[in-house]
Amino acid sequence: MNNDDTLVPLEPESDNPPMVGSPSVELLSERSSSSTGATSTVDVQRSSVTSSTTAALSSTAALSPTATLSPTAASLFASTLLSLSVVLALLGALRLLLPITLEQSRYSWYRGQLRAEYEASGEQLKQVSIEGLSTVSQIVSRRVLPSVVHITTSDQFQGLGFQGKKMTTGHGSGVIVDSTGLILTNSHVLEEGQIINVYLADERSCVAELLGSDPLTDLAVLKINAEELLPISWGDSDFAEVGSPVWAVGSPFGLTGSITFGIVSSKHRLDLTGTQYDSANPLNNRGKSRKPGPVARYSDLMQTDVAVNPGNSGGPLVNGKGELIGINTAIVGESYRGVSFAIPSKLAKQVFDEIVQSGRMRRGWLGVEFVSANRWNMLAQGEFELEIGNQETMTERKGAVINRVLPESPAAEAGLKVGDRVIALNGSIVKGVDDTIFQIGSSLPGSSIEIELERSGEIQTIKVKIGQRPE
């Protein structure tokens, strides 16, 4: 047998050799082909195993520490490092900006809530009857509170250990009267510090600029740079009758957002005896020096029984519609005793407009000195003091008598004389000296006023052009 021949299993011998084309010959041929195919498959498998082994060895060599990175692996490493840096930078920016964003969102939500309550309460107040006092009080508070601010004053303290720190020296209240940032308050609230800080109802704080003040009426106007402010609505104090319900809003003793309720007890109070502005009252002074305040002659006050305490000064007095009808300014004694005073909105609006327009209050002036009619009679008779008994039984004469006329003053040019008793101004009967001075001071400089007076037993009417009160 040749080496090229394929070995096949031996078949049993037969007496008759197989014939070509017989079934035995065909079976032999098929087995020979099958054996050849199997041999080829084994060869292919051996070749595949060899290739796989070679690839595995190559991969092992590539992962070896001593192997050199391919260009594809280096690019992948650089891309991963860059992505990681970007993620870290984004996380750092998120950590920095997230608190600010959340704070702004909270403020925006709170301001939106205040605005919604402010606008809704304005419509509700037009429909609610005054009989529902509890409901009215709740709606009034929602309407007014967003317009009320807390004010503190401070100075730069330069003492050892406190250098550069602000020391609070005073506090009070104020009310936003214009959406541009104009705030009305008492001038005495601002006397104890040069730095004025304003705290809004939505928890924002601002440093305020003083536009002007009028100590004679104890009013001042501030300006802050803030947006989305909710101003109070102006009301007319002349329509507030004795017995009308009123609310006072402010920060008594620093307790911000406090509201109290009461009624108008009286109007046109010109005597501040017993208040913190009465420096001549020994009971009220108690041996302590008191800061100056408005004098009675320029203060036509409303008296209420609303609870007002230190810190309420400068806050609004409002009516049942949530309208500003007064600025709370004074109390009798050191703390609330059932009597408090407010500057009427009619006067406050006049002072506010003048300060905004010119930076100060221009006040009317005649250039005369007034005394009461009884005091004039006493001086004319040479009596410089009256017995208490006589003073109590004496009938008070109405009006104010001119005791002195300044040269080249508007009164001198109009021909007013010493001894003239002023009875009425522009047809309105005057009650006394304080009322006369108040009405003249409330007149605008340059305007004219008709004075009805008594001279030597005869009634005369003289028209006088009002001058401007000297500084």
Residue burial 51-78, b: 16+ Cβ < 10 Å; e: rest: eeeeeeeeeeeeeeeeeeeeeeeeeeee
Give the Å distances, CA to CA, from 207 to 171, 198, 204, 229: 14, 6, 11, 15
| Exposure on the CB side of residue 225, measured as CA atoms within 13 A | 2
218 is catalytic: yes
The strand pair at 428-429 and 448-455 is best described as unpaired
Task: Give the active site residue among 202, 218, 278, 420.
Answer: 218
Q: Tell me the three-class secondary structure of 251-280, residue by residue.
A: CHHHCCCEEEEEEEEEEEECCCCCECCCCC
Is the separation of the CB atoms in 159 and 300 below 8 Å? no
The strand pair at 421-425 and 448-455 is best described as antiparallel
Task: Give the active site residue among 147, 188, 202, 278.
Answer: 188
313 is catalytic: yes
Task: Give the active site residue among 147, 173, 299, 313.
Answer: 313
188 is catalytic: yes
Cα 197 to Cα 171: distance, rounded to the nearest angstrom: 9
Helices 133-144 and 71-125 pack at an angle, to 10 degrees, of 140
Neighbour tally for 359: CB within 10 Å: 12
Cα 67 to Cα 315: distance, rounded to the nearest angstrom: 82
Is the separation of the CB atoms in 321 and 354 below 8 Å? no
Q: Which of 284, 279, 294, 411 is nearest to 343 (CA)?
A: 294
Cα 220 to Cα 213: distance, rounded to the nearest angstrom: 4
Active-site residue numbers? 188, 218, 313
